[in-house]
Amino acid sequence: MPYLGDVFIDVIEEFSFDESAETTDHALEDGEQITDHIDSKPITMSLKGIIKDEDESKRAKLREYMQKGEVLSFQYVSKLDTCVLTSFQPSYAKGTKDGYTFTMGLKQIRFVRVKNNARVSKSVKRQTKSKTNAGRKQVKKK
């Protein structure tokens, strides 16, 4: 069952995702190209489907997710644990009672990992010299 956060998506008609990477290329003197770096881009997903939403509560929740930038999890054909809702376009038609068709965009986000700083014991702190001003010093004239 496809859920985006707490919102159940009733029907997914079309689903696509894009995984891409960019390379850094440099030309050599003899005309050859070398690649020395690859940068993988975040995964993006595109969905088209139908949501049954009699009281517009699901639409309000999706709007809240997008405006607050809430980190969500989505699993359908493939799982995307850390993603944000980047676009949501509902479309109301006479053939869809108590709901709407929609187009939605999701994008994977990555978090920065912070290294733990090493803690120094009190005995080591006492052995180290305190900070001093190491800038230029004026010579005293006698």
Per-residue pLDDT reduced to its tens digit, 76-99 = 887 888 899 999 999 988 888 888
Task: State the pLDDT confidence band at 68, using cuts at 50, 70 and 90.
Answer: very high
Amino acid at 79: K
* 45 neighbors 75 (Cβ within 8 angstroms): no
**pTM for the predicted model, two decimal places:** 0.67
Is residue 72 scored above 70 in pLDDT? yes
Q: What is the pLDDT of residues 17-40, one digit of tens each?
A: 899 999 888 888 888 888 888 888
Task: State the pLDDT confidence band at 65, using cuts at 50, 70 and 90.
Answer: very high
117-to-110, 114, 120, 122 alpha-carbon distances in Å: 22, 9, 9, 16
